[in-house]
A and B are shown apart, each in its own frame.
Chain A
Amino acid sequence: MTPTWVQLANLLAAVLFIFALKGLSSPKSARNGNLLGAAGALLATAVLFVSGIPLANILLILAAVLVGSAIGWISARRVQMTQMPQLVALFNGVGGGAAALVAVIEYLEVGGANKISLAATVFTVVIGSVSFSGSIITFLKLQELMTSRPVTIPAGKWVTMLVAALTVVGAVWLVISPQVWLLVALLLLSLIFGMLFVLPVGGADVPIVISLLNAFTGLSVAASGYVLGNVLLIIAGTLVGASGTLLTKEMAKAMGRPITSTLFGAFNGTTAGNTSTGGDRPVRSGGPNDVAIMLGFANKVILVPGYGLAVAQAQGTLRELADLLTARGVEVDYAIHPVAGRMPGHMNVLLAEASVPYEQLKEMDEINPEFASTDVVLVVGANDVVNPAARTDKSAPIYGMPILNVDQAQQVVFLKRSMRPGFAGIENEILYDQKTMLLFGDAKDSLNKVVSSLKNL
């Protein structure tokens, strides 16, 4: 039986986790909130070692804790901020894997006599494995070790449904008639389902999936807490499961995407970015020189960074451009849409890392009235967040999403790879407007050319 003081320490850790999530919800308290959570985790782990509960294999355990901590710490400190989303996905995956393994070991140790406990074990194994393999796929997609476009396999919908059905049947069967081989088969089925679940999701929707898998891991950790009779695991896992679910919904909403279309869109062939463009309407494109002249002789310029900037890792070059313009006496601001980047809030992190002065970063509500008095807006790798269809076209998937009012500026310059629409897969009327100029190419490349042209002005 766990000593009372250990239970109290775990209670304190659980309270610290709640404060951590609460703190993370507000910019002022976020960092302290995270530290409180870390303190809670440290407390709970340290108490476990000194609790007097006998631990066999103590040297192996200590070694695993130390090595794991070192790997986690070093990779977290070394990672480039642009690659941070995939690291979070990876951490989430290993957490899910750990929960699944804990449940497997508990099954091997105690067997399946208690049916309720066995059901929780099976749940942990399935959800933990789905989270593990799904997160690994999202990692591979974001790291661009595989294509970030939706991957559809022939009859994918049916294969996925078949695997899902087999997983459910296997899970029920295992609860009724516990056998080790069945547990192994279920583990494999869950891993396959996790992959099939994430493969059809396109690049820009991946963050929403990470958030969902995060909630999954939370739930599997909660279930493993039930199996072990550990209250702290139940509380912590459930907190993450619940808050993660809500956060997933919020993220999907901020991106103007119903969660169902994110997850099942690819099956129906309507996923973001798959829709073809409207054909060959005329656009006005220009060279780096034209853009440099427009920017260099403007009074007021607003920069709108987006997903494409993050992909091209061009935030440093954009800052260089902004510095040059400021040195010429041009007033420069950055307009940050809440969901710009690879994840909501990601753009703020990326630009802060590129040492962009904080006071130049303007949030949407603050910058929107300014567009009307702006000479040139430079849109780098953003599309849907400036698409007026969100205001006017009720049939557009992004209808109702708040956008940056770029169309009110005197002139608009788009740096784009191609005429392919943004992830919502809809046409952007601004692109065809008379006052719009397009500069095609990789964002970093184009920005570099504009910077060197500007230096020669």
Chain B
Amino acid sequence: MDGVALLTIFILSIFVGFEVVSKVSTVLHTPLMSGANAIHGIVLIGGITVTGAATHPLEITLGVIATLLGAINLVGGFVVTDRMLEMFKPKKSVARSDDGGGA
């Protein structure tokens, strides 16, 4: 895809990003931040892509590290966000629920 098309996607995404979070309750600021944090963990597929094309040992090593870090960000991000949101369930008495569920 050419540069201008990618730039178009970039600019439009900025507007979507602003739009979707424009009215968010302060109570949800922390989970929203954490959820957004998980989403940029998708850099994992960048890590996989470059490692898959790497030939030099140094590149492979760095690629494996990048993939590892990306996976931590992605999986950990979604799971910790889910745990936070688990606490927001409106019910009569919030039972302690440490396990079960998950992303």
Contacts and interface: CB of A to CB of B under 8 A. Distances in A.
Contact of A233 (B3, B16, B42, B54): B42
Given A65-B67, A353-B87, A230 B45 contact: yes
A77 B75 CA distance: 11
Interface of B: 1, 3, 6, 9-10, 13-18, 20-56, 58-60, 62-88, 90-96, 98-99, 102-103
A130 interface: no
B45 A244 contact: no
Interface stretch (A103-111, A162-170, A280-288, A436-444): A103-111
B7 to A, nearest CB: 8
A297 interface: no
A21 B26 contact: no
Given A27-B27, A102-B43, A231-B1, A246 B93 contact: no
A102 B42 CA distance: 12
Q: Is the interface of B mostly helix, strand, loop or mixed?
A: helix
A207 B26 CA distance: 13
Given A27-B28, A214-B37, A225 B46 contact: yes
B2 to A, nearest CB: 10
A221 B13 contact: no
B77 to A, nearest CB: 5
B36 A244 contact: yes
A231 B64 contact: no
B95 A221 contact: no
A327 interface: no
Given A246-B21, A348-B88, A108 B59 contact: yes
A304 B40 CA distance: 35
B50 A106 contact: yes
A207 B34 CA distance: 11
A354 to B, nearest CB: 9
B34 A88 contact: yes
Given A95-B69, A233-B45, A21 B20 contact: yes
B78 A344 contact: no
A34 B37 CA distance: 11
Given A61-B67, A231-B6, A233-B46, A34 B35 contact: yes
A358 interface: yes
Nearest to A19: B20
Contact of A91 (B13, B20, B72): B72
A69 B49 contact: no
Contacts of A65: 44, 48, 67-68, 71
Given A81-B87, A98-B69, A243-B18, A338 B94 contact: no
A76 interface: yes
Nearest to B41: A95
A329 B47 CA distance: 60
A357 B42 contact: no
A230 B46 contact: yes
B42 A41 contact: yes
A267 interface: no
Contacts of B18: 242-243, 246
A143 B62 CA distance: 28
A318 interface: no
B80 A87 contact: yes
A26 interface: yes
Contact of A61 (B6, B52, B58, B91): B52
A68 B68 contact: yes
Given A31-B86, A61-B64, A109-B50, A241 B17 contact: yes
A115 to B, nearest CB: 11
Given A106-B50, A356-B94, A359-B92, A221 B43 contact: yes
